Amino acid sequence: MIAVQNTKYLIRKWSLLLLILSSLAQTSCKKILDVVSPNEVDDNTVFTSVDGLRNARIGMYSSLQDRNYYGGYYQLVAESYTDNGSTGGYDLIDLNDLAGRTVSPTNIYIQQNYNAIYSTIYVANKVINNIDIVPNLSSEEHDNTLAEALFIRSLANFDLLRFWGEHWDKSSAYGISIVTNTDAPAQSVARSTVEQSYQQIFTDLLKAKSLFNSYQGNQYASLAATNALLARVYLYHGDMQQAADYATEVINDNNYALFDAADFQKIYTNKLTEESVFELKFDPQNTSFFNGATYLRDDALRSDVTFLANADLNTFFESRPDDQRSALVDFINNDVSIEPDGRSQKYRGETAKDNSAYIIRLAEMYLIRAEALGSVDGLADLNTIREARGMTELTNEDVAGEGAFITAVLDERRAELNFEGHRLFDLVRLGKVDEYLGEGVNPIMPIPQREISATNSLVTQNPGY
């Protein structure tokens, strides 16, 4: 559940968010300090106009961009727990525990991730539960905005399930707390089962799919993004035909296309390219943890950066000399070398406005369909990605051995999606944690201790913590 203390935090954040958005919308020169204080903001007035709803819609995307969610922490915390990532030289116990895979329920980064994701759900719930009372709202805008909110809630719930739930075991009781209201103080909501958690996600996504009626660009939730997220969730759920079918819908969408090996770095140097199905674009007004989190000057010491690529990832790419994606992992070798660790060049900007969060990309859809179809029918999709990144094709003989095709898929996903927040979850769902991360590593994060304490243990802790 969301603890009462956390709910109060969400309410304050919601009020402040609406205050800032409404202030920015003013055409006068009125300063923010002259506007009504957050404690006096009545969110019931937000949904009394179309403009108010539009501000709330922007608020959903702003919540996704929170530094503790897709503003950087969610992806980079997950990567630092794997054989892709490491942490910089800061002497922070909670940060170093991530790289050491010894996370405790009091880890501040885990707590902040947890809060930020539920905050996003809170804002989406505001839109979902109030959109029907907005006057003078066209049916087209109503349906599209509701679809966006359902998509964002689904994405957040799935990210919770991947990080804190036993998502690989549909019979498990360790799902997530499903919150669909915005009551305060919050009612205690115990954890649902894993299968119940999946079904909530499917219900929201399928409803969103039925509502989308316009495409506003890949910086917003869309029908294609919904199909893509359905493909991802069905893959985790083990429904391979559905995963393949939804991935195909995205692959066949003319709004998206793969870059070739010569141009693929444009995904990360340009904004909102045709390879992105859903990308959060940051601008000068945004603040995110991408603001320097992986930025490193050529003459800098490793202590100047928070999250690093580790030596294992370097070794992985050294075994693939033709793979053009290796250029996105920079291992400096000079007098102040950060060897054996390096930096990801996917977030190369020193400021937030220079970076994006790549939530869903077209390449992932090819990799999902490849895995879902298996070695006989899926090899062509795997080779499509390899060819687009400068690699030679694999033959049927290359993937003929037991587990060889899954290993090839896992390697391709690592090469393509590193530092985008997938590696940990791939290893967990495919049962590869012991093999790649070592025996005894807990595959999921602990529920923050403050949540356990605030609910008098109504919310149960994950096994092993």
Q: Residue 308 forms beta bridges with which residues? A: 86
Q: Are 345 and 268 within 8 A, CB to CB? A: yes
Token pair recorded at residue 60: 């959903």
- CA–CA separation, 360 vs 226, rounded Å? 10
Task: Find out whether 423 and 82 touch, Cβ atoms under 8 Å.
Answer: yes
Comparing CA positions, the residue from 122, 126, 107 lying closest to residue 164 is 107
Give the tokens for residue 272: 């909102």
Give pLDDT, residue 93.
82
Can you say how many angstroms the Cα of residue 436 is from the centroid of all Cα atoms in its chain? 22
Task: Look at residue 247 in the predicted model and tell me its pLDDT.
Answer: 99
Angstrom distance (rounded) from CA 92 to CA 373: 44
Q: Where are the domains of the chain?
A: 4-282+358-454
pLDDT at 135: 97
pTM of structure: 0.89
- Render pLDDT for 279-333 as a digit per residue (tens, 0 to 9): 998 865 655 544 444 433 343 444 455 677 888 998 999 999 999 999 888 765 5
- The Cα 347–Cα 268 span in angstroms is 7
- Angstrom distance (rounded) from CA 273 to CA 294: 22
Omega cis (within 30) before 446? no
Model pLDDT, residue 302: 46
Quote the pLDDT of residue 73.
86
**CATH 1.25.40.390 is right for the domain spanning 4-282+358-454:** yes
Listed as ranges, residues in the chain with pLDDT below 50 are 1, 4-5, 20, 22-41, 185-186, 289-303, 334-340, 352
Size (the chain), residues: 465
pLDDT the model gives residue 99: 87
Greatest Cα-to-Cα distance within the chain, rounded to the nearest angstrom? 71
Query: Across 6-130, where does the E strand assignment appear?
Result: 85-87
- pLDDT the model gives residue 38: 34
- Taking the C-alpha atoms of residue 351 and residue 277, their distance in angstroms, rounded to an integer, is 23
- Residues forming a β-bridge with 343: 330
**What CA–CA distance (Å, rounded) separates 414 from 412?**
5
